[in-house]
Amino acid sequence: AQSVTQPDIHITVSEGASLELRCNYSYGATPYLFWYVQSPGQGLQLLLKYFSGDTLVQGIKGFEAEFKRSQSSFNLRKPSVHWSDAAEYFCAVGINDYKLSFGAGTTVTVRA
C-alpha cells in the first residue's frame, strides 16, 4: 500500500536561514508528487508538483523540490525563509489527480 512519510513534525528556523522539509514515499511506481502549504486558518495552496522530466522543480514563493528516485524522496527547500513562510506543509503523492495520499504534515515556525 502506498504511504507518505514526513519525518519532521515541527521545524523551527531563523528568518533568512535555509529550510529543507523531507518527504519519503512508498509506491509501486513513480507517482505524481506535490507539496502544499497551509497557512493558519486557511485552505491548502499548491506550491509545486512533479510528474516527469527534470528532477528539480521550481514552485511559487521561492520554493523548489528535488525528486530522487533512488531514495523515494521529494524534499522541499527554500534558500532564505521569510516570516510569512510560517505554516504547515504537506507532501502528497498519487497516480492521478483525484486520489492523493498526504503526509502528516510539517509545521514550520520562523523566529526573528
Partner 1 sequence: EAQVTQNPRYLITVTGKKLTVTCSQNMNHEYMSWYRQDPGLGLRQIYYSMNVEVTDKGDVPEGYKVSRKEKRNFPLILESPSPNQTSLYFCASSPGRQGPVGQYFGPGTRLTVT
Applying CB under 8 A, the residues found at the interface with partner 1 are: 4, 6, 9, 32, 34, 36, 42-46, 49, 51, 90, 92, 94, 96-105
* Exposure string over 3-41, b if 16+ CB within 10 A, otherwise e: ebebeeeebebeeeeebebbbbbebeeebbbbbbbeeee
Comparing CB distances to partner 1, the nearer of 15 and 27 is 27
Which cell goes with 46? 499548491
Question: What is the phi/psi pair of residue 85, to 5°?
Answer: -80, -5
| Shortest CB 15 distance to partner 1, Å | 26
Residue 3 or 12: which CB sits closer to partner 1? 3
In the bound complex, what is the minimum distance in angstroms from residue 112's beta carbon to partner 1? Answer: 26
Kindly state the smallest distance separating residue 29's Cβ from partner 1, in Å.
14
DSSP single-letter state for residue 30: -
